[in-house]
Structure 1
Amino acid sequence: MAQHDRRQEALQRIQIGLTGVAGVILLVGLASIVIDKARLGDAAAPPPAVPTLSANAVAPKEPLVELGVQPAADQAQVVPDLVPDPNLTQPIDNDQPKP
């Protein structure tokens, strides 16, 4: 009886292993098909439309300001004055000691 149990267990392990290998092959095949279809779809799609300026349109003078990346010249940034540390006894940017 022990011989029969071993053989059955070995066959079950082989079946599980072959099922796993078949599953991996199936997943790799499906992934390959999906990737190939995506590449074909990208090649068939027309390039994106680029907006162009008409002959009557005026080119922007400050494109970064219009995009909001850079502040406009009339919007001067005000930096508040910095208050020095009251515990500071000598300037930290001067290496020479005070006399």
Structure 2
Amino acid sequence: MVDTQSILEPLQVPTHFVPPSARELRSQGVHRLQIGLFGLCAMLLIVGLANIIRDRLRLVDTQDPIQQVVAVDAKPTKTASDPLADIGVVPAAEPSPAASPAPDASGDPGAPAAP
């Protein structure tokens, strides 16, 4: 059987606070300094990387002036059309003037057109 008296004995004796020694204080100070310097270096690297990325994007965003000359000389491209509206499945987004029927002389839009 385990002797419970020997286990509980150290817990019943009051323990006193022992202040850290000069060596422990120095060790804690050096550790805090290392963490601070590491954090500072990490932030400098992040800011430097962000600056490099921003400079590269600025270089990519600037277009070559020759592209503007080529764009002026190029043929106009066909405007995008809705294929379902072209075949008549859905109504067109922008009604064209040719799509509306012309009223005849009698003024009745439902009347058949005269030949």
Compare CA radii of gyration and give the structure with the larger one: 2
TM-score tier, shorter chain, comes to: 0.3 to 0.5
- Structure with bigger helix share is 2
TM-score (norm 2): 0.42
TM-score (norm 1): 0.47
